[in-house]
Amino acid sequence: MTRIAAAFLAALLAAAPLGSAAAQDRERPPPLRREEDRQLERPQVSMGQAVQRASAGRPGRFLGASNRGDTIVVRWEYPGGRVADIMVDARTGRVVGER
């Protein structure tokens, strides 16, 4: 066997496992994503935006707000003294309830 043929054969043998490794890598499912990564991808409304959404069309005054994960709770005082908690979805900004 000539040197050129031997070198060509060695190169073929060295490159053969690379093709099968790439094929195996394509078959592997993507790694599971961490909860922190998923939370970073979620669109979030700011506390100020949540207060604006909660106060829209409501008489009274703002008392405070707190972030509780997927919900921002806005405390609101209506004329006459009644205090209510208005829940705003932290991802969409929609008012989802009041208690």
Condensed to tens digits (0 to 9), the pLDDT of residues 53-73 reads 999 999 999 999 999 989 999
43 or 3, higher pLDDT: 3
In a domain, 82, yes or no: yes
Tally of domains within the chain: 1
Q: Is residue 49 part of a domain?
A: yes
Q: What's the mean pLDDT in 80-88?
A: 98
Q: Lowest-pLDDT range, 2-16, 18-32, 47-61, 70-84?
A: 18-32
Q: Mean pLDDT for the chain?
A: 83
Query: Helix, strand, coil proportions of the chain in percent (round to 5)?
Result: 40, 25, 30
Whether residue 14 lies inside any domain: the answer is no
Tell whether 55 is covered by a domain: yes
Note down the domain range covering 48.
43-98
Q: Which residues contact 40 (CB under 8 A, 6 or more apart)?
A: none
Q: Tell whether the model's pLDDT for residue 11 goes beyond 90.
A: no
Q: What is the pLDDT of residue 6?
A: 79
For the domain that residue 82 is a member of, what is the CATH number?
Answer: 2.40.50
What pLDDT is stored for residue 67 in this prediction? 93
* Residue 8 lies inside a defined structural domain of this protein: no
**Which H or E element spans position 5?**
helix 3-27
Residue 68 lies in a domain: yes
Q: For residue 79, is it within any domain?
A: yes
C-alpha 70/C-alpha 82 separation (Å) is 25
21 in a domain, yes or no? no
pLDDT of residue 95: 97
